[in-house]
Structure 1
Amino acid sequence: MLDAKLRPLIDPPLGRAGTALARAGVTANALTFAGLALGLGGAGAIATGHIGWGLGLIIANRLADGLDGAVARARGPSDLGGYFDIVADFAFYVSVPLAFGILAPANTLPGLVLVASFVLTGVSFLAFAVIAAKRGETTEAHGRKSFFYSTGLAEGAETIAVFIAMCLAPSWFGAIAYAYAALCVATVVQRSLMAAASFRG
């Protein structure tokens, strides 16, 4: 919901940094895997009770994620890079609620519910992208991407805001997880309605 609105604000500085990194020989895939390592490290920190470190590593993960796309645009995007990027994103996304579930038994059920909602959201997102590509549809609402990015209520910006809120108020993890899981399910419904309108016939 917020990703496309934030692009005009974050793309110019990311673009400049990405161009500089590309000139220095840094590849987008290297940043993708570095970002994944940071994100999983953040989840590990949370799981072991070091939530402050976890929050810092989550923010570092998102910075790396923004930079890998900027470097890809500077060097020329690749299908393999797009594949690695989306796999790394979802591996990171599911690791955070899993980490909170490990941290405290009371978090296990809401963590599982949130992970399940991420799976549904991811399936709807990727299925829409596959069919949109088959039909030759394109969009740059989220910038230039390797495949079709459909808009939804729950996107990357909302997810990171939720993760930050969980780190700042871990005792509220359950309530935050259930509320965001409901928004993810609403996103699946929204995207399904978009699919019905776009793909009919």
Structure 2
Amino acid sequence: MLDQPVRRILNVPLAGAARILDRPGITPDGLTLTGLGLGLASATAAALQWWAVALVLWLVSRVIDGLDGALARRRRADGRGAPGEAGGFLDITADFVAYGAGVVGVAIGASAAFDAPWWPFLLVLFAYYVNGAAFLAFSSIAERTGRTIDDGRSLSFLGRIAEGTETITVHALWLIVPFWAAPIAVVWAAIVAVSAVQRMVVGYRALR
């Protein structure tokens, strides 16, 4: 829901940062992998109940995740970008790994520190699974049938109430108030589930 307005706000600062980072030895794929590594480190820190460290690592990982695309667009604009869509594939895969690991890390840490139940986090992972399946399947079929949605991203993205901005915010909220992580997870799982249903309905109608 918030991705488009947030992207409009961040496009200029991200482009400026990409201009600074546009140096030999720094690649979009390298930034993607760095963001993934920091995301996994954040999940590990959460599991160890190092909440502040996990929060900083999470936010930095998401900033870097935004910079990889900005750098790739900058290099494509002047003919220096790598051919193909390998970078987009790597980016979405890294996002899924970071998000899933974040849920598991918070679940482990909150369970150990606050005796939080596991089932709310399992609901989140299930909702992520259904949601991801819906929009990835739509993107693949839309590409094959010429019904793509071009909003600057590598995939034909069916935007709904739960998008990247909301996901980043909720994962950060877990780390800010980990003692409320389980009830937040219940609400978040419901929101992501609604988004999954929306994507299935809209995607089905768009492909008919």
TM-score tier, shorter chain, comes to over 0.9
Corresponding residue number in structure 2 for 1:85: 91
CA RMSD of aligned residues (A): 1.4
TM, length-normalised to structure 1: 0.93
Aligned positions, number: 198
TM, length-normalised to structure 2: 0.90
Contact 2:147 2:207 in 1 (8 A): no
**Runs of 5+ unmatched residues, structure 2:** none
Alignment of structure 1 residues 94-109 onto 2, 5 Å: 94-103=100-109, 104=111, 106-109=116-119
Determine the C-alpha separation between the residues in 1 that align with 2:148 and 2:25.
30
Contact 1:107 1:173 in 2 (8 A): no
1:21 deviation in Å?
A: 1.6
SS of alignment partner, residue 87 of structure 2: helix
Determine the C-alpha separation between the residues in 2 that align with 1:48 and 1:194.
40
1:20 deviation in Å?
A: 2.8
SS of alignment partner, residue 150 of structure 1: coil
**Runs of 5+ unmatched residues, structure 1:** none
1:74 deviation in Å?
A: 1.2
Contact 2:32 2:91 in 1 (8 A): yes
Do the aligned partners of residues 43 and 66 (structure 1) sit closer, same or farther apart at CA in structure 2, a change above 3 Å counting?
A: same
**Deviations 1:22-60 (CA, angstroms, capped at 9, x unpaired):** 244410000000000000000000000101000000000
Q: Kindly indicate whether residue 151 of structure 2 is the aligned counterpart of residue 159 of structure 1.
A: no
Corresponding residue number in structure 2 for 1:19: 19
Counterpart selection for 2:147 from 122, 137, 141: 137
Alignment of structure 1 residues 43-54 onto 2, 5 Å: 43-54=43-54
Contact 2:134 2:200 in 1 (8 A): yes
Alignment of structure 1 residues 1-201 onto 2, 5 Å: 1-76=1-76, 78-103=84-109, 104=111, 106-141=116-151, 144-200=152-208
Identity of aligned residues (%): 36
1:81 deviation in Å?
A: 0.5
Determine the C-alpha separation between the residues in 1 that align with 2:17 and 2:155.
23
